[in-house]
Every structure is written in C-alpha cells, then in structure tokens.
Amino acid sequence: MHGNRFSRMNASWTMRLMDVALRYHEVVDEIATVDHELPPAPGEDEHLSLALANSVIALPGGHFIDHLGTPDAANRWLTERDLAPVDSGMRDMCASQLRSLREQVRALFAARVSALPAIPAALSSINDALTRVPTAPLLQWDDKAGPYRAAPHPTTQIVDHALATLAADAADLLTSDEADRLTACGSAPCTRFLVRRGRRTWCSTRCGDRARAARAYARRTGRDTP
C-alpha cells in the first residue's frame, strides 16, 4: 500500500517537473525569438537615446530582455552603435551607469509623452552626463597627416563619452520638433518608445498584430481594451 502511495507521489512530482521544464523552454524560445526578430522602433536609427530607452524589452508573462544586463552585453550594445571599441573591458559599474541613464531617459520621455513635469533627478542625471567630458574637439597633430581636431577618448573615459553622447541625443530629441511625435507603444505589455510616423502608434508589426488581436477579442467578448 505504501509503495503504491509513494509511486503515485513520485509520478505526480515527475509530471510537475516536466510541466515546469516545458514552460521554461517555452519562455526561453519566446525570448530568443523576440530578441532576434524584434526590429528597431521607428526613430531608433536616427536617435541613439531612443535605442537606449528601448534596450530593455518587456515580454508577455512578465519577462524581460535587457541588452545592458551584463558588462559583455552592454559592451556589445555600445560597439554596435560605434560608442565603444570591442575590447573596451566593460565592468559592472559601467553597465550599471548605462542602465541608470536609461531609466532617467525613459522617465523624461514618459513625462514628455504624458505632458507631465519632468522629474528633477532625471534632468540632473542628463545634465551631469552632458558635462562629464569636454564637448569641443581638441587640436591634434599627426606626423604624416598634419593637424586635425578630435575629442580625446582614453580607455578610462569611454563610458563617460558614451553617456555624454546618449544624453546629448536625448536632449536634442526632447527639444526638437520630433518631440511632438514621441509616443509610447500602444500595445501592452510593450514599454518601448517610438517617433510616430503617420497614425502608427506601435513600435513593430508584432505589437500591431497583438493590438489588433486584442481589439478583435474585445469585440467578440464585449470587453473594453485600452
């Protein structure tokens, strides 16, 4: 009798473990698919700060992809945008600084979209990043090519220059005519921002399809959707 009881318990636990493993692989597959297929949101190609704000991607089920989540990932993200060399030796503190600036940029974008006052700490963070490095390119002299101007980029200041560049782009976007077309993606749970082109309020075809499906479901069931 006891043997049968323990056998049933083991079978039950085995089924639970198999279910957990299946769900895990489904989540991993979903994350991998979104990571490789989700295109840049409208405006990202022109504005690095928009790409920064969208470097964390919300997925259904409360999952996230963070392209700045590790030093290696942050280094790769910067390298892809010509903001750092491949072998810059990114550290945890550097990745943390990028993530911190991202949150402040997102706060300012959200305030602009919602027509709300800016959070003082977010403004201070942007201005601090802007003033970390000299903005005027210095006079340099090459023995063969002669004089030229370029900003200094010592290894220890790579992240500071990246932060300054990203902050400057955010300031430019927020004070440009395009700021009126800055909006948040209208398809939950997506949290990306975009510069609206025409009437489109979705950051990708995937989000547009999800929003249309949600509206169709709401019509069938008589429920309201945002």
User: To the nearest whole number, what is the mean pLDDT of the chain?
Assistant: 81
**What is the C-alpha separation between 17 and 14, in angstroms, rounded?**
5
Question: Any idea which of 1-5, 41-45, 46-50, 197-201 has the lowest mean pLDDT?
Answer: 1-5
Q: Name the band, by pLDDT with cuts 50, 70 and 90, for residue 206.
A: confident
pTM above 0.85, yes or no: no
Dist CA 67 CA 44 (whole Å): 15
Measured at the CA of 174, the angle between CA 198 and CA 57, to 5 degrees, comes to 70
Helix or strand run (H / E) with residue 195: strand 193-195
- Residue 209 pLDDT level (bands cut at 50, 70, 90): confident
Q: Where are the domains of the chain?
A: 1-37, 42-179
Residue 51 has pLDDT above 90, yes or no: yes
What average pLDDT does the segment 8-26 reach? 48
Helix (H, G, I), strand (E, B) or coil at 65: strand
Q: Which residue has the higher pLDDT, 130 or 34?
A: 130
Q: What value does the mean pLDDT take over residues 72-79? A: 95
User: Which position has the higher pLDDT, 4 or 197?
Assistant: 197
Quote the distance between the C-alpha of residue 149 and its chain's center: 33
- Range 130-150 average pLDDT: 82
Task: Indicate the pLDDT class of residue 216, thresholds 50, 70 and 90.
Answer: low
Q: Please check the confidence at residue 22 and state whether its pLDDT lies above 70.
A: no
Show the DSSP H helices in the chain as ranges: 2-37, 48-53, 71-80, 92-114, 120-130, 158-174, 205-221
pLDDT at 221: 73
Query: CA distances (Å), 47 to each of 25, 84, 134, 204, in order?
Result: 35, 17, 21, 17
With bands split at pLDDT 50, 70 and 90, how would you rate the model's confidence at 25? very low
Residues 182, 193: contact at Cβ < 8 Å?
yes
